[in-house]
Homo-oligomer: A and B are copies of this chain.
């Protein structure tokens, strides 16, 4: 099973960025955004006050800058020959100033220097040190991340398998009397055990390799209700909102279930949500805009009389981050192209009563949308 990208993926990405820099007459790019560093290098890190940066010159070898405590891992995980380290933050010399000094020693004839991610303070530091050089913000890495190649889709397929599995475990162990916290712990533990057994390597990412949210009853009406000591009860709606990560790539699978009986009110709202969710999936085809897909789902929900219970857009991109561009939202005019990976998850939230949301992770292809998550979603399969 593919559990991480081959080194050729990183070589390709570096080359793509360098071609972009050449085209834009930019001398080099500092990558600061942690997910973009992972995308370009394979080195995952939890961002802290200790800065990590990748410098990609228009021509020549990239330089990876890390604190000494990340040095061994950087050597092990990346393709780079030139990894330079500093001792600590803040240090007697500011680490960013040191990085700038290092690249200025290495390269000259600066025309334009760009940064990826980073704060106003970082921008000022670059502007102060690159005298008479144009300093800009460049979004090339975010742009490359918008579409996934075959190997990335392979990792996502594997992540989808565990996303389905954790929902299956949840269906098996959810029962009246168990708390949300216990339910989620047991679901996560069992799925993690399976992942540890089957995967060669597990990459620790924010949120962990597998997990989610499991609101029950009235708490399902809050889209992001965190696990609580509330006990599951017969007759309540139970949302299992989960995801897993393989090789840095995240997939989500969410299902709205019912503990025992389903009332007419629950069933009606469920069917409207489920139809809208499927309509959005069907609309995820090349040439459609994100805003159009969003409208397909939300307009249907409004037409069915549930418009006042909408609290969010239809979906968002999936990849390295839990949420990433493009956004299946009225404000995003991005045209879908093959290789984009999206969630479809319109929700209905009736305060004091219940919420309803399924989510799948879908790859846009030349033909039919490829739904990676395969857990059943009809109401008869979702009664616990």
Contact = CB atoms under 8 A, between A and B. Distances in A.
Interface of A: 46, 48-49, 67-70, 72-73, 87-93, 115, 117-123, 137, 179, 181, 185, 189, 192, 196, 202, 204, 206, 222-224, 226-229, 311-313, 316, 322-323, 327, 329-332, 351
A89 B120 contact: no
Nearest to A189: B185
Nearest to A310: B87
Nearest to A229: B196
Contacts of A351: 72
A91 B331 contact: yes
Nearest to A135: B120
Contacts of A204: 226-227
A123 B137 CA distance: 13
Given A69-B312, A121-B137, 20 more contacts: A49-B327, A69-B223, A69-B224, A69-B311, A70-B224, A87-B312, A88-B329, A88-B330, A89-B313, A89-B327, A92-B330, A92-B331, A117-B119, A119-B120, A120-B123, A123-B123, A185-B189, A202-B228, A204-B226, A204-B227
Q: Could you say which of A89, A202, A222 has the most chain B C-beta atoms within 10 Å of its C-beta?
A: A89
A331 B119 contact: no
Contacts of A46: 224
Contact of A331 (B90, B206, B222): B90
Contacts of A227: 204
Q: Could you say which of A206, A226, A316, A330 has the most chain B C-beta atoms within 10 Å of its C-beta?
A: A226
A120 B137 contact: yes
Determine chain A's interface SS by DSSP, over half rule.
loop
B68 A323 contact: no
Contacts of A312: 67-69, 87-88
B329 A222 contact: no
A72 B327 contact: no
24 contacts: A48-B322, A48-B323, A49-B323, A49-B327, A68-B311, A69-B222, A69-B223, A69-B311, A69-B312, A72-B222, A73-B222, A88-B329, A89-B331, A90-B327, A90-B329, A91-B329, A91-B331, A93-B331, A118-B119, A120-B120, A120-B122, A121-B137, A185-B189, A189-B189
B224 A196 contact: no
Q: Which 8 residue pairs spanning A and B have beta carbons closest together?
A: A90-B331, A120-B123, A204-B226, A91-B331, A69-B311, A88-B313, A92-B331, A69-B223
